Amino acid sequence: MKKPIRMAVVGVGRIGVFHARHIQELARETGQCELVAVADTYADTAVRVAAALQVDREGEIRAFKNVFDLAAANLIDAAFIASRTEDHERDARTLIDAGCRVLLEKPLTDSLASAEAFVADLNRDAAHKNALMLAFMRRFDPPLLKVKELIDQNAIGKIFKIVSILEDPIPPPEGYNSAGLLSDMAVHNCDEILWLLGGRMPEYVAAYGSNIYNSTISTVREDYDDAFLQMWFPGRLIGQVTVSRNHVAGYRNATWVYGDQGVIHVGHFQENPLAVEVEAYGRNGIIHKETITLRDYGPAAPVFVTRFGESYKNELADFVAHCIADTPFSVTHEDGYNAMRIAVIGGESIRPKEAAFKVGGN
């Protein structure tokens, strides 16, 4: 067996810590990887997290203040980058240029122009082209994988509409960095729809946005707190995305797939947050129905970790497997660019309320 992949996590805030723990879990279960370093620019975060992760572990976990010192240490083979959006490109470039392979949280960069340039740079040769995997964890989610399986089996016939909804119950934490609601939240939904459709790209996109509640109570400045985006694909097929910060009753995450022979639904907003329903109905009744039980990460876990924690670990396992085999990743920087492009163009298409058609009334 090859030596384990030596890994670091860059950015060990609320999601980065879970990535680090998953690396340690995967190391214990498979021996294919090991966590050897963490890096974070904020205060003493890296030192504190390294010390917490070091408990009951023999090998040293080193703490770095920035990605440049991490790269210079020549300590790692690969990294999971979960730093601020504005630092994604810099951190990824630095480690890729140092010979590392990178699993990068969404979005690819902080602007469409920089993402386009980054993709072109990565495509310049084979080594760079295969250096980055985009962390679209929904592609590794058991409930959504069941949806994909039903679609591929033609269980509901020809698909004509997919609806993907993501609604948060609380504002983002203080200091959160967002390039815009659609760019920040909808990029996962956009990729989900593209993936379910086998990589097809839309011809047109349009979006609408509003500030209705969260923007009045949050310290985080964002363009909108509620938005809707629609994609038009060739062949009378549409994709619709709804994202919101305003679902105060709890975390809502759901997808509907409509075909000419039935409907598939997968949803997560119910009494038991550790259960996800996957159901498909046709003209003659039930096609498929099951409840998938999620891993319990405890009450302190963020809502998105409660829903997608196992998916994050599954994508990490896929990343490590490709690193060991030295093969191209299953999710690429171009996948990241395609989803980002839809979200950003949709955001740019939003017009203020004053540009809407006035109905009148009292």
Q: What confidence score (pLDDT) does residue 361 get? A: 62
pLDDT digits (tens, 9 = 90+) for 33-72: 999 999 999 989 999 999 999 987 778 999 999 999 999 9
pLDDT digits (tens, 9 = 90+) for 97-132: 999 999 999 999 999 999 999 999 999 999 999 999
Q: Chain-wide mean pLDDT for the chain? A: 94
Mean pLDDT is lowest, of 16-20, 330-334, 349-353, for 349-353
Instruction: In whole angstroms, give the CA distance from residue 341 to residue 178.
Output: 16
Mean pLDDT is lowest, of 58-62, 257-261, 328-332, for 58-62
The two three-digit tokens of residue 218, written as one number: 């949050």
Determine the pLDDT at residue 170.
Answer: 86
pLDDT given at position 1: 52
Domains of the chain, by residue range, sit at: 5-135+313-331, 141-294+342-349
Give the C-alpha separation, 149 to 142, whole Å: 10
CATH class of 141-294+342-349: alpha beta
Local confidence band at 296 (pLDDT 50, 70, 90 cut-offs)? very high
Residue type for position 208: Y
Mean pLDDT of 147-176: 94
pLDDT at 362: 59
Per-residue model confidence as pLDDT tens digits over 65-85: 999 999 999 999 999 999 999
Distances (CA, A) of 41 to 8, 83, 84: 14, 9, 10
Longest Cα separation, the chain: 74
Beta bridge partners of 161: 238, 258
Bridge-partner residues for 206, per DSSP? 230
- Fold designation for 5-135+313-331: Rossmann fold (3.40.50)
The answer to whether domain 5-135+313-331 and domain 141-294+342-349 are alike in fold is: no
Give the residue among 296, 292, 295, 254 at the shortest CA–CA distance from 276: 292
Query: Mean pLDDT across the stretch 255-261?
Result: 98
* Torsions phi, psi for 33 (to 5 deg): -150, 170
